[in-house]
Amino acid sequence: MSFHLHQIAGKNAEKTKAHNRRVVLGYLRGQPAGRAEIAKASGLSTQTVSNLMAELVTEGLVVPTGRRRAARGQPPVVYAFNPSGAAVLGFEVRPDTLTMVLTDLGGTALVTRQIPLAQTDPAHVLGQMAMLAQAHMPHMPVLGAGLVIPGPFGVDGLSGVGPTALPDWDPAQIPLQAEAALGLPVHFDKDATAAALAEGMAGAASGLSSYAFLYFGTGLGLGVVAQGQPIRGAFGNAGEVGHIIVHPGGLICECGNAGCLEQYASRLSVQRHLIAMGALPPDGTGLDAALVQLLANQNQDLMVWVDTAAEALSRAIGLLENLFDPQCTVLGGALPDALIDLLIARLSLPPGSVARHSGRRNPRVLRGTSGTLTAAFGAAALVIHDTVTPRLDARAPDIAATESPPCP
Amino acid sequence: MSFHLHQIAGKNAEKTKAHNRRVVLGYLRGQPAGRAEIAKASGLSTQTVSNLMAELVTEGLVVPTGRRRAARGQPPVVYAFNPSGAAVLGFEVRPDTLTMVLTDLGGTALVTRQIPLAQTDPAHVLGQMAMLAQAHMPHMPVLGAGLVIPGPFGVDGLSGVGPTALPDWDPAQIPLQAEAALGLPVHFDKDATAAALAEGMAGAASGLSSYAFLYFGTGLGLGVVAQGQPIRGAFGNAGEVGHIIVHPGGLICECGNAGCLEQYASRLSVQRHLIAMGALPPDGTGLDAALVQLLANQNQDLMVWVDTAAEALSRAIGLLENLFDPQCTVLGGALPDALIDLLIARLSLPPGSVARHSGRRNPRVLRGTSGTLTAAFGAAALVIHDTVTPRLDARAPDIAATESPPCP
DNA sequence: ATATTTAAATCAAATGCTTTGAGTTAAGGC
DNA sequence: GCCTTAACTCAAAGCATTTGATTTAAATAT
């Protein structure tokens, strides 16, 4: 899988059927419904929906839940999406850890495993992944695997440095190698984008078609879903929010900028702050426990950081609102819930934002799924998303096709 | 047309054919090709491509350009996209002016008209539009009309104020009314998004699938195309770049923010600066002529503005790069070419950007189409884009469908 | 109670496109 | 000249959706 949209593929009857299956599944994931309702919503004939439903029931992806007696007429047989009908794998690779989750189609964890990584070369890690997967194969069918790593990919001065560096992980090669190693279709993406999809599937953004997800990993990531589709950009690096400048002339970042958001609002930044204040040992261990503790005590050192971080985040969220016009912005990832809640409470969002819309139905900012497994669940969500969301298929270029013509 | 992606529609044989037509046309718009090549690129059979081509040739959208003798085997008959095969209309409505362009499918102008608007109520303006269209109907088929207005739509404190306000122009109603008035399919969007599509069709971004277009209108707009699709956001307000904060604590903007980009880099900002410097009469007339003149003289007052604007733009472009990961960022719109060139020359882009990518093939920033007709051409581009780009069709909700479930 | 109305679901063609496989045409290479 | 390669065409087959007539089942009216 590459990130450029090379050439959109043509369709035939089979592709059309696959599309319609996704339409039906996607609708049913939102709410249980009878066949006639689905037909009306999708524009398909009831007969077609009947045929598809019969297949989906056979496969176990959908289950009838009895008749609904509502108005006149024969009451419809209501069908519901069956999360237990199949499973998916999600892998998150970080320089020091490999995380695997096995979830059902609802995103509910069946198995979670974390193992430390001594080496980070793809061959070794893929071997570990295959081993883990082998050891936890469920009885239900496994539809595919998601694989996420921290971004950005292939950026001078950003990718090779810092604690998230994974050398030799080429986005163009890895998915194919992973498919070979796992024997499953593999969906590859960066952690924040995947985490955003997870949030849209079962979390705070469920049911939304346009939203932004700020992901606290080591740094700060961003996944944006616009009109139901994740934004990936030309090289899969969209959403590199950690290095947007919120304080011109502010703290120097290793990326070369001054005043990067990540310097003010990230795990690393709070860790550094607490070490400097003597609230954490110099090696920075025990951050999560300390955060919970300090938060409970309303520790002033922490509050100082919260205010600074909230100011920086407010600017960033204002930006995201004006650039992406999301239904809402969600904050989640590897920080304690209570801390994220506090950050949200301390936000002062800029007034000049398209988020102040008369048609708005959602809060501007919400807390999403927290915890260190967020990205791995996101990886699983990549597969689920692919299963239930209609899409435009791309075709890989065959022979030395021009990848992107030069800007004239 | 609404901006929420309500529910994706199912496909049948006819829809499939329409999709495949777009695939073929889209490929041919990039480069002339033989049928076998198109088949290979699209994954369709040669027979299908043959059938589609026969239709497209009959309709005049595609023309054979002779055989290409290349390697062994029977030389392919090469077909080219025929821009003259049909025409499209583009309308731009501003509070004081209605602009219409009639272009061929290559985006080349056949007719351009501007008329002043005394009233801005939709009924009157739609009447004027119908009148203009009527008066300039070409002999070739007209595929549709694009209609653009300045954004944002429905935003408290932004939409109703300032020189771009068009009260009573409801994005949910206008397209339908326009279709009735014109008797053509109408594509509605905000000016900058449409202008971006135009740039991707024939301008600096042609052939690119991910790019950002900064549009100098009265204020400063942004259109973003990601993976071939324009980003519109939940309410069609994505790309409201004028009100992102580039100078925290800087100049007060009427939106309520301090330090908005628009205060530093826009027609209004340079106009205000030149008036303050006495280089322009207090009513601000004659801006364009003055700009050309002052530029030729390397006027110091103007240079001061250019440096300030370039600094603000550099920050904004850095942001866009990190958030959208475009192949390049294009600057265009209602400023003289030479001034845009100078702005680009004076940029100092931040180093911490995913644009510093090893796979990069395009300049980070380019000048695009300038002139006051940019947005109207963009409106026309909406129709052309729709004609040649495969898409996921949405279905309008039928009866009291939940438009967007509340963020839980 | 019984008949009527309304709506869902099924059955059995029919329809629309795409694909397949055999055959034809036109060029380069030996 | 003959073989190979590749593009293209023709006719039949295949796949999935649609259409129109029927059946089923509940709410309402008589």
The answer to whether A125 touches A181, Cβ cutoff 8 Å, is no
* Segment B283-301, tens digit of pLDDT: 988 999 999 999 999 999 9
- Given CA atoms B79, B85, B86, B92 in this order, what sign does their dihedral have? positive
User: Coil, strand, or helix at residue A121?
Assistant: coil
Q: Does the beta-carbon distance from A357 to B238 stay under 8 Å?
A: no
Query: Which residues neighbour B288 within 8 Å (Cβ) at sequence distance 6 or greater?
Result: B336
pLDDT score of A328 more than 90 = yes
Q: Where are the alpha helices (DSSP H) in A154-280?
A: 174-182, 191-202, 267-276
Phi, psi angle pair for B234, to nearest 5° = -65, -35
Residue at B45: amino acid letter: S
Please give the average per-residue pLDDT across A58-68, as a whole number.
92
Q: How confident is the model at residue A330 (pLDDT cuts 50, 70, 90)?
A: very high
pLDDT digits (tens, 9 = 90+) for A110-145: 999 999 999 999 999 999 999 999 999 999 999 999
* Sheet containing strand B186-190, strands side by side: B109-116, B97-104, B87-93, B142-149, B186-190
Cβ–Cβ below 8 Å for A354 and B403: no
Give residue A163's pLDDT: 52
pLDDT band at A404 (very low <50, low <70, confident <90, very high): very low
As a whole number, the mean pLDDT across chain A is 91
Q: What is the per-residue pLDDT for A207?
A: 87
Structural domain A7-81, CATH architecture: Orthogonal Bundle (1.10)
What kind of architecture, by CATH, is found in domain B209-370?
2-Layer Sandwich (3.30)
Give the pLDDT score at A164: 60
* Residue B405 banded pLDDT, cuts 50, 70, 90: very low
Q: What is the pLDDT of residue A158?
A: 75
Q: How many CB pairs under 8 A join A and B?
A: 315
Set of chain A residues whose Cβ sits within 8 Å of the Cβ of B42: 7-10, 395
Distance from CA of B233 to the nearest CA of A (A): 5
Cα four-point dihedral sign B329, B330, B334, B337: positive
Q: What is the reported pLDDT for B402?
A: 33
Nearest to B388 by CA among B46, B88, B163, B100: B88
Fold adopted by B87-195+377-388: Nucleotidyltransferase; domain 5 (3.30.420)
Residues lying close to strand C (Cβ under 7 A), chosen from 67-106 of chain A, are 71-77
Biggest distance spanned by C-alpha atoms of chain B: 72
Confidence of residue B1 (pLDDT cuts 50, 70, 90): very low
B87-195+377-388 and B209-370 agree in CATH topology:
yes
Q: In A, which residues are within 8 Å of B10 by CB distance?
A: 19-20, 23-24, 42-44, 48
Residue B401's pLDDT band, with cuts at 50, 70 and 90, is: very low
Task: Select the residue of B16, B206, B395 nearest A16 (Cβ to Cβ).
Answer: B16
Q: Is A36 near strand C, with its CB below 7 A from some atom of it?
A: yes
Higher pLDDT, B5 or A219: A219
Q: Residue range B60-78: average pLDDT? A: 89
Inter-CA distances, A93 with A128, A149, A161, A287, B188, Å: 11, 5, 16, 21, 43
Residue A66 CB-density burial (10 A; 0-12 exposed, 13-18 middle, 19+ buried): exposed
Inter-chain residue contact A155 with B357, CB threshold 8 Å:
yes
- pLDDT > 70: percent of chain B: 94
Stronger pLDDT, A398 or A54, i.e. the higher one: A54
pLDDT at B408 over 80: no
Q: How confident is the model at residue A1 (pLDDT cuts 50, 70, 90)?
A: very low
Measure CA to C1' and name the residue nearest D16: A13
What separation, in Å, do the N-terminal and C-terminal C-alpha atoms of chain B show? Answer: 27
Q: With an 8 Å Cβ cutoff, are B327 and A391 in contact?
A: no
Element (H, E) at B223: strand B220-226
Determine the nucleotide nearest to B79 by Cα–C1' distance.
Answer: D7
Strand partners for A104: A87
Q: Across the interface, do A155 and B239 touch by the CB < 8 Å criterion?
A: no
B369 has pLDDT over 90: no
Q: Between A154 and B365, where is the model more confident?
A: B365
d(CA A251, CA A262): 10
Percent share of chain A, pLDDT over 70: 94
B223 or A219, higher pLDDT? B223
CATH class held by domain A207-370: alpha beta
Q: Where are the domains of chain A?
A: 7-81, 86-195+377-388, 207-370
Q: Residue B179: which of B226, B151, B144, B222 has the closest Cα?
A: B144
Q: What pLDDT was estimated at residue A398?
A: 38
d(CA B326, CA A196): 20
Predicted pLDDT of residue A128: 97
CATH class of A86-195+377-388: alpha beta
How far apart are the C-alpha atoms of A111 and A383, rounded to whole Å? 16
Provide the shortest C-alpha distance from residue B133 to chain A (in Å): 32
Q: Of A15, A152, A352, which has the smallest distance from its Cβ to B158's Cβ? A: A352
pLDDT digits (tens, 9 = 90+) for B233-255: 999 999 999 999 999 999 999 89
Going by pLDDT thresholds of 50, 70 and 90, the confidence category of residue A264 is very high
| Smallest Cα distance from A316 to chain B, Å | 9
> pLDDT category, A161, cuts 50, 70, 90?
low
Give percent of chain A above pLDDT 90. Answer: 81
Measured in degrees and rounded to the nearest 5, phi and psi for residue B245 equal: -90, 115
Average pLDDT over residues A193-207: 94
pLDDT of residue A4: 53
Question: Quick one: pLDDT band at residue A408, thresholds 50, 70, 90?
Answer: very low
Sequence-ordered list of residues with C-beta below 8 angstroms from that of A210, at least 6 positions apart, any chain = A225, A226, A227, A228, A324, A325, A326, A327, B5, B233, B234
How many distinct helices (H) and strands (E) make up chain A? Answer: 11, 15
Q: Is B150 exposed, middle or buried (0-12, 13-18, 19+ CB in 10 A)?
A: buried
Q: Name the residue among A16, A233, A358 with its Cβ closest to that of B325.
A: A233
pLDDT score of B395: 73
Chain C nucleotides with an atom closer than 7 Å to a protein C-beta: 5-12, 15-21, 25-29
Whether the predicted pLDDT of B40 surpasses 80: yes
- Going by the DSSP 8-state scheme, the letter that residue B279 receives in this structure is S
Please report residues of A whose CB lies closer than 8 A to that of B7.
27, 41-42
Give pLDDT, residue A400.
32
